[in-house]
Amino acid sequence: MLLIIIGLILFLVGFFLKPETKLMDQIRKPLLGIGVILFLAGLMSKLFVQIEAGSVGVQVLFGKTQENVLDAGLHMVNPLVEIKTFDVKTQNYTMSALHSEGDVDGDDAIRVLSADGLEVAIDVTVLFKVTPAEAPFIYNTIGTEYKDVIIRPLSRTKMRDFAVYYDAVSLYSSKRDEFQSRVVKALEADLKKRGLILEQVLVRNIMLPESVRKTIESKINAEQEAQKMQFVLQKEKQEADRKRVEAQGIADYQRIISSELNDKLLQYEQINANKELSKSPNAKVIFMGKGNANVLIGDK
């Protein structure tokens, strides 16, 4: 557009410049030529427009938005039309307590009040995209800064609206998915009215007050200690049962032995033991007998 304007100005200056002198005539002709060249170059550059993949173009002619949307590719358009490009790929907007993580520098977490009156900080990422056919409507009603105008305030408002139905601990643990689903449903309807498609709301982190965190940690530690004690008691009970069974076995063995033990059995066991001893390759003398009568056994 700038080339068209410069070329037109040079052409008009050269056209209205009176060739009263030879010098003026020499200046006039180059001005006309340069003006025409710049005008045509600018006209050609504005006549063809390329829209990148994942984007659409909105045509604006003298402040009025055209309804037809330019898809990705090369298009021939009115040279006087201004093209506003909209990204139709999935976009994200993050609000985080970490200074380098969110779209806004510094602590940008959403702080909400829970049902029990505690302040809870929530890190959130909103995934969304522009509806291609609604790009002219978005440009007319919102503009190109739809992240700051729509996504940010609506997300923060919906988070605060639904957080009041949950106490802090439930919001942190058991009711987290339910809370996220309710926010998604409400935010999806509001964004659809404005030409935007909500894909997902990711509740990335929920930070409880320090006092609540310490209470939860103490409770968890107590539960772990109780579980550990139950394990120790169970182990000790099993060990006591084992010793009781072992003692009963020993007692039964001793009772059986004492009831069946007699002189003949002792003599039989002695003979077997000496018999095994006599098989040894070493020299030996074994005396066996009953009472004063002894029997000499030897291999030599």
The pLDDT score that the predictor gives to residue 105 is 84
**pLDDT category of residue 187 using cuts at 50, 70 and 90:** very high
The pLDDT score that the predictor gives to residue 13 is 64
**pLDDT category of residue 294 using cuts at 50, 70 and 90:** very low
Tokens 């052409």 label which residue?
Answer: 11
The C-alpha atoms of residue 162 and residue 184 are separated, in whole angstroms, by 11
The pLDDT of 224-240, averaged and rounded, is: 82
Tokens 């002894």 label which residue?
Answer: 294
Q: Is the pLDDT of residue 244 over 90?
A: no
Answer for the pair 114, 166: CB distance below 8 angstroms, yes or no. yes
Answer for the pair 15, 45: CB distance below 8 angstroms, yes or no. no
Answer for the pair 195, 134: CB distance below 8 angstroms, yes or no. yes
Percent of the chain scored above 90 by pLDDT? 34
Distances, alpha carbon 244 to alpha carbons 56, 239, 247, 255, 258, in Å: 83, 9, 5, 16, 21
Q: Is the pLDDT of residue 41 over 50?
A: yes
**pLDDT category of residue 111 using cuts at 50, 70 and 90:** very high
Q: Is the pLDDT of residue 112 over 80?
A: yes
Tokens 């005396």 label which residue?
Answer: 287
The pLDDT of 198-221, averaged and rounded, is: 78
Domain 90-208 class, CATH top level: alpha beta
**pLDDT category of residue 216 using cuts at 50, 70 and 90:** low
Domain boundaries, the chain: 2-86, 90-208, 263-297
First and final C-alpha spacing in the chain: 130
Of these ranges, 21-25, 60-64, 279-283, the one predicted with the greatest mean pLDDT is: 60-64
The C-alpha atoms of residue 241 and residue 238 are separated, in whole angstroms, by 5
